[in-house]
């Protein structure tokens, strides 16, 4: 901040004036001061300082405009180390010499200015904050179909996309790991609406300004499209494809269905854009705490889905069509009274076992206890794959 640059203050700078300057910046006010500052060579100079806040279109102060006028000529000559022993006339002569440029600026050009010189100077030196001009940040001019990236509509839209991105970050790993087909009409409609919103977001991104490398706002439509095509377009396009509608059909081949389910994981890459948008909230302690809790819960959810996938893959040996009794899924099924059973009369496959809700809750419970290094042991890894994953998960928890 400007008022924290106390390298310009010195032993003769008035402490009350310094405090008034600080309060002006803290309260986002307009004000004027006569203040004694020091040059690099420690020469004291009187300045008339004007502070004016600059506001954007939302009436929020974005920066301050500070102007300094050398008024040493009109002040009592200053006695410093270099002028000790000088007469008052000599010090005044030196002040006049050093302020020759000020004299040239204040020299009137005609008689009218001569008449008003005294009153004008008095007005300048006694200027109050109430008559300072209101400075505002001018919004850049854009073509009619281009949207400013910081306007109210785009800000609201970005929050909607943020919420939907978190929704997909939760549901996509769950649907992929538990191999759920969205036969429920309500969930299918909701996911379809999300896909449509992501598609609309792609269209809006082709018409939204962005900040260039030099800090300038880029509003040229051609540059906007080229920048979006080179950055997030491919990821956003893969994110809005209707995978859930394809998987909803019963006659879809299992391999194709698994492929489309796996491609849904690409949507998680949109979290990179979320991280950029949340970056400016990290200066608030409460926001950081909430963000850390959300990230911890999200990581635990992802690990729970992976933990279940490992158990589901290893619980049944597809070569011998036998069940592994040391798998955590088999042990969980026995403990809650829903064991696996072999269907000898029908499909000839293993059936039964815990419900998907029970499996997810147990997986999340295990990952939470492992990440927090508690580990009660009622759900424990037994196979090699489960042990390797548990070691990796505890290493993540240690960080």
- pLDDT score for 177: 86
pLDDT value of residue 206: 94
Q: What is the dihedral sign for C-alpha 20, 2, 38, 72? A: negative
Measure the CA–CA gap between 191 and 184, rounded to whole angstroms.
11
State pLDDT tens for residues 235-245: 888 878 777 66
Q: Which of 3-17, 127-141, 312-326, 384-398 shows the highest mean pLDDT?
A: 384-398
Tell which wins on pLDDT, 155 or 302: 302
pLDDT value for 162: 83
Q: What is the structure's pLDDT at 122?
A: 42
| Segment 365-381, tens digit of pLDDT | 999 998 887 777 788 88
Q: Which residue has the higher pLDDT, 151 or 244?
A: 151
Is residue 57 within 8 A of residue 45, CB to CB? The reply is no
The whole-number pLDDT of residue 121 equals 43
In this predicted structure, the answer to whether residue 203 has a pLDDT above a threshold of 90 is yes
Q: Is residue 346 very low, low, confident or very high in pLDDT (cuts 50, 70, 90)?
A: low
Residue 323 dihedral angles phi and psi, to the nearest 5° = -100, 140
* Residue 386 or 375, more confident: 386
Q: What's residue 295's pLDDT?
A: 87
Best CA proximity match to 132, nearest among 54, 200, 185: 54
Predicted pLDDT at 116: 39
Mean of the per-residue pLDDT values of the chain: 77
Position 110 pLDDT exceeds 50: no
What is the pLDDT at residue 55? 83
Residue 238 pLDDT: 80
CA distances from 184 to 255, 259, 264 (A): 22, 21, 18
pLDDT band (50, 70, 90) for residue 14 = confident
pLDDT band at 79 (very low <50, low <70, confident <90, very high): low
């Amino acid at each position: 901040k400007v008022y924290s640059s106390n390298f310009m203050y010195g032993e003769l700078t008035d402490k009350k004036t310094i405090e008034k300057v600080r309060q002006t910046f803290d309260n986002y006010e307009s004000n004027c001061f006569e203040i004694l500052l020091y040059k690099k060579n420690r020469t004291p100079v009187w300045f008339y300082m004007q502070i004016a806040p600059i506001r954007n279109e939302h009436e929020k102060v974005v920066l301050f405009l500070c102007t300094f006028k050398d008024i040493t000529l009109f002040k009592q000559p200053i006695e410093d180390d270099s002028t000790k022993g000088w007469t008052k006339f000599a010090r005044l002569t030196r002040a006049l010499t050093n302020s020759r440029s000020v004299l040239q600026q204040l020299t009137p050009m005609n008689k009218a200015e001569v008449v008003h010189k005294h009153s004008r100077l008095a007005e300048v030196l006694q200027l109050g904050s109430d008559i300072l001009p209101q400075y505002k940040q001018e919004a850049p001019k854009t073509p009619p179909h281009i949207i400013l990236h910081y306007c109210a509509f785009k800000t609201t839209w970005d929050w909607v996309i943020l919420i939907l991105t978190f929704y997909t970050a939760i549901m996509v790993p769950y649907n992929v790991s538990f191999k759920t087909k969205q036969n429920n009409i309500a969930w299918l409609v909701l996911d379809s609406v999300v896909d449509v919103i992501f598609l609309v977001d792609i269209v809006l991104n082709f018409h939204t300004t962005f900040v260039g490398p030099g800090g300038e706002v880029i509003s040229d439509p051609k540059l906007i499209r080229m920048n979006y095509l080179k950055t997030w377009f491919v990821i956003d396009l893969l994110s809005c494809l209707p995978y859930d509608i394809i998987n909803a059909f019963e006659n879809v081949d299992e391999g194709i269905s698994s492929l489309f389910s796996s491609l849904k994981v690409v949507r998680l890459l949109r979290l990179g854009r979320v991280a950029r948008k949340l970056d400016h909230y990290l200066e608030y302690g409460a926001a950081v705490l909430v963000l850390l809790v959300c990230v911890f819960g999200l990581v635990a959810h992802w690990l729970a889905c992976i933990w279940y996938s490992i158990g589901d893959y290893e619980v049944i040996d597809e070569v011998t069509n036998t069940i592994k009794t040391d798998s955590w899924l088999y042990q969980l099924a026995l403990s809650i009274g829903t064991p696996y059973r072999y269907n000898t009369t029908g499909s000839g496959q293993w059936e039964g076992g815990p419900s998907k809700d029970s499996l997810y809750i147990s997986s999340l419970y295990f990952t939470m206890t492992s990440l927090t290094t508690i580990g009660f042991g009622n759900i424990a890894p037994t196979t090699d794959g489960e042990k390797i994953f548990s070691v990796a998960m505890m290493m993540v928890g240690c960080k």
